[in-house]
Every structure is written in C-alpha cells, then in structure tokens.
Structure 1
Amino acid sequence: PKRLNGSSQNLFIYLFFRFMNNRVPSSKRYQPTEYEHAANCATHGFWIIPSILGSSVLYFLSDDQWETISAWMYGTGLSGLFIMSTMFHTVSWKKSHLRKVEQRFHMCDRMVIYFFIAASYAPWLNLRELGPWAVHMRWLVWIMACAGSAYVFFFHENVPFVFYLWESDRFKLNVLFQPNREGILELSVGGVFYCLGIVFFKSDGLIPFAHAIWHIFVVVGAGIHYYAIWRYLYATGTSQIKISR
C-alpha cells in the first residue's frame, strides 16, 4: 500500500509539474511551457469578439452624444485589453528570433492596462451626477494612464501592483463622490476579482497555468463591471441623471 501511495504521489507530482517550468528570479521573466502559452492566448483571445459585441450593444443603446462617446471610450479600452494581450502572448509563443518585437508587445500589453482602467471609468464619470471633487477625475484618470504608461517604460514588470492600487480607487470614487449609489456592489465585487488575480500573476513556476488563471480573474472582473455599466447606465428603462455640460 505504501508503495502504491508513493507511486500515485509521484504520478501526481509529474502531472502537476509537466505543465510548467521552474520558477525564475524576480529579475527575469518566466518562460511558459507550450501548454501555458496556448492557455494564455486562449483565455483572452476568446473574449475579443464578445468584448467588441458588448461594446456595440452599449453604442446602440446610447441615447445622446455623451452616452455614445462613453460607449466608444469604454469599448475601445475593453476590446484593446484583450486584443493586445492576445497579440503579445501569440508573439511570445511563436517568437523564435523576434526577441525585440516580443519586448515591444510586452510593453504595449502592460501600457494598455492603464488606458483600459481610464476608459472603464469614463461611463461613470460622464453619465452620472458627481460630487464637486469627482468632477476632476474626468481628466485626472487620463493623466494617471499616461503616468502609468511612463512607469511601464521603466519598470514594466512591476505594473500589476500599481494597477491594483489604482483599481481599488473605484470603490472610493463611488462611495465618496457619487450621490447615486447604484452599481457600487458590482464595482466592488469586480474589484475583488481583479485583486485576487494578482496572487496568480505572481505564481508562475509555482502553479501550472498561473498566468492563464490570472487572465480568467481579469475576465470575470471586467465582465462584472461591464454588467454594471450596461444595467445602471445604458439598459432600457434605467433612469439616469445627466450632468449639465
């Protein structure tokens, strides 16, 4: 029995570790296995078309200029996130001698995260009545996106920490600055998924498919936030208070 248990344990360890490579020092980037490369591409590539369709739904539900602009801003950020991520992971998987190209895509993949965050703020900032302090967030989020991109240029491997610190500000924005509290639950739950995902982002070499799992957390968080935008800002029959321009 002990021998059988030992064999089963060894088989489990073999199956567990065959899908990932050894962990690397923090100064180097983890190299995924072929299985992990495929999962990294699929977990975001699958959502490119749904994100475009979802953005189109918001566009067709728009009743005025600001709803239309906000739908385009948010849709571009959402679709761009999945498109750039898939492009980077595809190039990384099939790079062969394209090392410099891979590095450029890696940098763009990180930069687009910040613009996705800024774009996902847009519907709430443009279509909701805001307190006196939150009005400045309409332009401040884009300054933060540019600052984040500059940060990526110099320290791109550490982006997720800044990303999630920024993401946590969603809850503060809605609690402190918006008289209308609808959507706070969804925004908070989506933010929790984003924050939990960072555990897997830092687990390459410890957990097989860790990066792909992180992708899934991002998809769930983005999906919950999309639902909140659709339901509370665009859905037919939803009463909205528009800001005087």
Structure 2
Amino acid sequence: MFSMGKTWRWKNSPAQPGKAYHPTTVEHLANCISHVPCVPLGVAGMIKLCSKADTYSKSVAAIVYGLAIVSLFFASSVFHLFSLFYINGRLRSTLQLCDRIVICLFIAASYTPWLLLRDFHASWGLTTLWSVWIAAIFGGAFQYVYLDRFKSVELMIYLAISICPAYSFIYMHERSGLPLLFTGAFVYLSGVIFFKLDGHIPLAHAIWHCCVFIATFLQFNAVDTFLITN
C-alpha cells in the first residue's frame, strides 16, 4: 500500500537526465483521478461511433479510433494505479513502456478517420495514412529501446508524429470539422508544456492528463459530427 507519510507533498525534485521523475503520493493520486474515469467514457464513445457507422470504411475508422482512445486511457490508468501503490520492478516498467507506446499509436489512430474517410488530391490521404502509422511504429520501437534515456528525442518524435501529417490536409477537398480538430490539437500541444514540467510545478502530469482529456473530447466530437454521422 502507498504510504500516507508523504501525502501532502505536492512535488519532488525534477528528474535527473536519463532518469524518470518520481511523483509524490498526491501526484500519484491526481494522475489516477484524472485518467481512470476516462476509461468507461472512452468505451461509451467507441460504442457510439460504431453504432453510427453505416459503411465499411466508417466502421474501420470508428473501431481503430475508438480502440485507440480506450487503450490510451486504460494503459495510462493501469500504469498510474500500479505506481500509486508502489508496485515496482519489471511489471511497472513494462506498464510504463506500454503507456508510452500507446501514445504513439494513439496519435496515428487520431489521424486515421480523417485520412481514411475524406477525399484528397491524388493519393495524399492513403500515403499519409501509411506514413503516420509507420512513424508511430518507429516511435514505439524507440520507446522500447531507449525509454526515458533521451527525453528530448522522445518529445521530438511525439511532436513529429503529431504535426507533420497535418500538412496533407492542404490537399483535403472538404475541410468541415478541421477547426474543431485543430482546436483539440492546440490543447494537446499546450499540454506538452506541463508534460515536461514534472518537479517544476505541482501536479504537472495531472494537468497534462486534463489537457489530453479535453483535447480528446474535442477531436472525438469532430470525428463523430463531421465524419461518422455525415
């Protein structure tokens, strides 16, 4: 069980280069509270998308995107719950690795409905779809080999997978829903600031979690309203 002796300590010292940050008990609790409730919400969202999908392509997009949302919040929740109760060792490290890999795959899955269901000039849509998934797999492989050892490179990979595929939207024929999509993207990118501030401000990672939830909610509604329901 977690120790209550450090309950009211709001942050620890920042992590040393190449090392993981060690949250306080309060931060562990906040990390759990900010993501565990999102798991059933993600399941409900996936069911909603799948029930509305009326073509094969929409069904594929709904399943891929819905599963990614559920996986993102589930992997994060399990890792932080294990961290809260100080379950260390190989299992905890494996859960952290899964959490980081799922982030890469989630980014690719977030692009999938747009690249699969919208028409693009030439073959920009499918080419970008393949490219973003290959990049996500590369990002996951990098995490597997170098977890927490090269944090700046890790961040650049996340940002590259997140931002570069958006260039293809220039060649998208119909652009309804993009303002809501990009608003969500802005919230994600704003949250990255807090993702890098563990140990510098209290509850930084939980604030990052809240940004992820808000951004996911915005982008989910964009997919639901402008791609699946249409």
Distance apart, 1:90 and its partner CA: 1.1
Selected match of 2:217 from 192, 216, 223: 223
Query: Is 2:28 the partner of 1:33?
Result: no
CA contact (8 A) 1:171 1:187 kept: no
| CA–CA distance in structure 1, aligned partners of residues 114 and 47 of structure 2 | 18
1:172 partner letter: Y
2:110 partner letter: S
Query: Is 2:127 the partner of 1:136?
Result: yes
What SS does the aligned partner of 2:189 have?
helix
Q: CA RMSD in A?
A: 1.5
TM-score of the aligned structures, taking structure 1 as reference length: 0.84
1:102 partner letter: R
Aligned to 2:228: 234
Aligned to 1:20: 11
1:37 to 1:72, Cα distance in 2 relative to 1, 3 A = same
| CA–CA distance in structure 1, aligned partners of residues 209 and 156 of structure 2 | 15
Query: Is 2:151 the partner of 1:166?
Result: no
Distance apart, 1:170 and its partner CA: 4.9
What SS does the aligned partner of 1:89 have?
helix
Identity %: 32
Unpaired runs of 5+ in structure 1? 1-16, 239-245
Unpaired runs of 5+ in structure 2? 1-7
CA contact (8 A) 1:171 1:188 kept: no
Query: Is 2:58 the partner of 1:67?
Result: yes
Aligned to 2:43: 52
Distance apart, 1:206 and its partner CA: 1.2
Query: Is 2:175 the partner of 1:185?
Result: no
| CA–CA distance in structure 2, aligned partners of residues 134 and 59 of structure 1 | 22
2:109 partner letter: A
| CA–CA distance in structure 2, aligned partners of residues 84 and 160 of structure 1 | 19
Selected match of 1:124 from 114, 124, 145: 114
Structure with more contact order per residue of length (Cα contacts < 8 Å, sep ≥ 6): 2
| CA–CA distance in structure 1, aligned partners of residues 147 and 119 of structure 2 | 35
| CA–CA distance in structure 1, aligned partners of residues 208 and 17 of structure 2 | 18
| CA–CA distance in structure 2, aligned partners of residues 85 and 160 of structure 1 | 17
1:140 partner letter: S
Distance apart, 1:134 and its partner CA: 2.7
Which range moves more in the overlay, 19-28 or 216-225? 19-28
Selected match of 1:151 from 131, 142, 147: 142
Distance apart, 1:135 and its partner CA: 2.4
1:92 to 1:18, Cα distance in 2 relative to 1, 3 A = closer
Distance apart, 1:113 and its partner CA: 0.7
1:163 partner letter: Y
Aligned to 2:99: 109
TM-score of the aligned structures, taking structure 2 as reference length: 0.89
CA contact (8 A) 2:121 2:172 kept: yes
Aligned to 2:4: none
| CA–CA distance in structure 2, aligned partners of residues 183 and 160 of structure 1 | 27
1:134 to 1:100, Cα distance in 2 relative to 1, 3 A = same
